[in-house]
Structures are given as structure tokens and as C-alpha cells.
Amino acid sequence: MHHTELLADLRQRGHRLTPQREMILNVICEGNGHLTADEIIARIRKQYPYINKSAVYRTLELLARLCLVNPTDFGDGKVTYEIHRHPHHHHLVCRQCRKMIEVDGAVFAPLEKLLRDEYAFAADLDHFAIFGLCRKCQPASSPAPTLRKRRA
């Protein structure tokens, strides 16, 4: 996804094209992955030191509203932003070792269907951070009761 496409998309939806917005979209498209607002600002400053914090936050909010980027809180005290990718994906985040596993968006298909069928609710299930414990960090599977019984 090139940033000019996103700019055109913005324009078509009635929003104005400003140099700030172009720089922000450019940085988000180039730096692939999850970027914090701070990182986005730092990267823009290399070329244009005057970029303003409020403009960046407001643009990110606009892009999120239009589903062009996904804001995500991985629990590190700063929200990250990533270009909206297709197909969707999510992240499993280990609450202990912080390892992240990427999973396909399809894992939410059953939930999505259930919510639509039972509650007529159209859930936004684009890009989740799901916390939990990875394989390595789970307590050793409870000593098999069968083992204890055998010993006794």
C-alpha cells in the first residue's frame, strides 16, 4: 500500500490534503509495523522539524476513524499505529515474557458470526492485542493426577 493511494482515498472522502497529512501517511507506510506517535513525530522531524504534536494525534484519529490505520494498545504506555492490512491479523501477547505471536484475522470468524446471529451486532474485529500466557510461560501442566495415584 503506497501512501499516495491513501492520500487519494482521504481526498475522495472529502478531507483536505495537507503536507502534514502526507508526511504522516508516508511515515506510516514506510516504517512497516507498529509505530508510536512519538516515533512517527521523530521520523517526520528529520525532514520537517516543525511538525506539531496535536496535528499528528488528530490525523491519526482521523485515519483510524476511516479505517486506514489500526491503533493498538500493547500495554506499554503508548498506543501504536499500523497501516490497516488485508487480510486482518491479530497479536497474541504474553503477559510474562512479552513475546508476540501474529495470528490470522480468521480466528475471530466464529465470534463474529455468533454476535451477528444472536445479537445482530456488527463487531469491529480488525486488529486485536490478546493478552495471555505463551506456551513457555504457562505453569507446568498440573502434575497429572494419574501420576500421583500411581505413586500412592
Binding site for a copy of itself (CB under 8 A): 73, 92, 94-95, 101, 103, 107-108, 110-111, 114-115, 119-125, 130-135, 138
Q: Which does 29 bind (CB under 5 to 8 A by kind): a copy of itself, Mn ion, Zn ion, none?
A: none
Tell me whether residue 70 or residue 108 sits nearer to DNA (CB atom). Answer: 70
CA atoms within 13 A on the CB side of 19: 8
127 closest CA partner among 60, 76, 70, 77: 70
Convert residues 73-92 into a mask of x (bound to DNA by CB under 7 A) and - (unbound).
----xxx-------------
Among 25, 27, 35, 37, binds DNA (CB under 7 A): 37
**How many of the chain's residues bind Zn ion (CB under 5 A)?**
6
DSSP character for 137?
Answer: G
CB closer to a copy of itself, 95 vs 98 = 95
The one-letter code for the residue type at 61 is E
CA-to-CA distance for 45 and 58, rounded, in angstroms? 17
DSSP alpha helix (H) spans, 31-87: 37-45, 53-65
